[in-house]
Amino acid sequence: MSDWLEAAFVQHRPRAIAALTRVFRDVDAAEDAFAEACLKALTAWSESGAPRDPLAWLLTTARHSGLDSLRTSQRRAALLARYGEDVHTMPQDPPDPDEMRDDVLRLLFMCCHPELDRRDQIALALRIVAGLSVEEIARGFLVKPKTMEQRITRAKKKIATHPVAFETPSPQERGTRLGEVTLMIYLMFNEGWSTSVGPDQIKLTLCEEAIRLARLLVELFPAMGEQTALLALLLLQHARRAARVDRAGRLVPFDDQDRALWDRAAIAEALGLLQKAQRINHTGVYTIQAAIAAAHAIAQRPEDVDWALIEAQYAALYALQPSPVVRLNQIAAQARLHGPAFALKAMEPLAGDLQGYRWFHAMRGAFLQELGDHQGAIAALETVLTLGPTTPEITAIKEKIAASQKNLGPASG
């Protein structure tokens, strides 16, 4: 397939699948119809070029293909019994942008159905909205393709039995759906950026698809500050990907990263998006997190980072989202200002809530090492190894343990 054809199908897929799902009231029927339209476009567009409105062409072609399939399938009877002749209706004119926006939001919200756990929500969005293959998604989650196929099939069955209303959502309902979708995209990126387990520290496919979906939200809702800030945050994080792991696959500590490897074009775009989000005058959790990431990105050297500003931003974030993980990040910033002994004391109230959180123990181990308590550091770092770190993290932790054991000396060891 030509690169430009593949790019066109990827670009138009979310809107096309969203509109077709509304028409057919069935995700599988929408996916089948879109696939047929893409096959026909391969021939038609390769010979005469893309039409003036590729999306309208794909929708019209998919509608006809889908209706032809429904006429000869058992699915038609079930759909008509539930929705009547509405499944036959679809505007022939270019789609209305407002209607299309609600269609895409509805589709994304369908993937975020509360009956599904977060990983299944992400997998479903990657399959339905992004169009990734089952094999690609399985690699992202470190499971066998057959296992992932079964999970996606079960997820589709769940949302089929608990359908999302196809009517235009009210402003309040739209806000709820948008918040759920935004959180799902944020978690999708996090799973890719710092995967929960496995041989790789970064799953680029998950990160890139999360950024693609975040861009889609900004296109659909350009006046929404939090969605704009989310895209800025993801771009700022992703800009460091080339410096985060060295050629041997070893983790590079933040302060040791080669900032010349950071993607300056992505950072510039992100800073512009953050300024736009701040001009909209809505300060939410993604806006604050993007501002924290920006403070790191604009510093030319590690010693240039404004830690007092970052600590204040974490305090503001904690006021909005008072979780122990946010507080832990605030303490990490305070350690830069007040030292490791202060930070260890501040961490004590979090020990119960974060007992199973590997970053808590990793941070505690690092502070104990700074203070020369190598026995305590070893105990903290050995706890990290029991909490499912990635392969690069295991290597880094074992090196720190070895350093502390060396500092203990032969008499203590």
Least confident of 123-132, 134-143, 199-208, 367-376: 199-208
More confident residue, 96 or 172: 172
Distance (Å, rounded) from C-alpha 168 to C-alpha 365? 52
Question: Where are the chain's structural domains?
Answer: 1-95, 96-164+171-221, 224-305
pTM: 0.85
DSSP state of 116: S
pLDDT reading at 413 higher than 50: no
pLDDT at 93 over 90: no
276 pLDDT above the threshold of 70: yes
Q: Could you identify the residue written with the tokens 């089952």?
A: 134
pLDDT at 75: 58
State yes or no: pLDDT of 313 exceeds 90.
yes
- State residue 1's pLDDT score: 62
Among 25-29, 83-87, 178-182, 314-318, the range scoring the smallest mean pLDDT is 83-87
Neighbours of 350 (CB within 10 A): 17
pLDDT(226) > 60: yes
Average pLDDT, the chain: 88
Per-residue pLDDT reduced to its tens digit, 337-361: 999 999 999 999 999 999 999 999 9
In this prediction, residue 196 carries a pLDDT of 56
Question: In the predicted model, is pLDDT for residue 91 greater than 50?
Answer: no
Where residue 118 falls among pLDDT bands split at 50, 70, 90?
confident
What is the per-residue pLDDT across 357-388, written as a single tens digit (0 to 9) for each? 999 999 999 999 999 999 999 999 999 999 98
How far is 80 from 83, CA to CA, in rounded Å?
Answer: 5
The Cα–Cα gap between 295 and 299 comes to: 7
**Of 142, 138, 119, 122, the residue nearest 130 (C-alpha):** 122
In the predicted model, what is the mean pLDDT of residues 130-152? 89
Residue 149, pLDDT above cutoff 80: yes
Structure tokens at 60: 């019209």
Q: Which of 398, 322, 334, 409 is nearest to 367 (CA)?
A: 334
pLDDT for residue 201: 72
pLDDT reported for residue 67 = 80
The two tokens of residue 146 are 């057959």
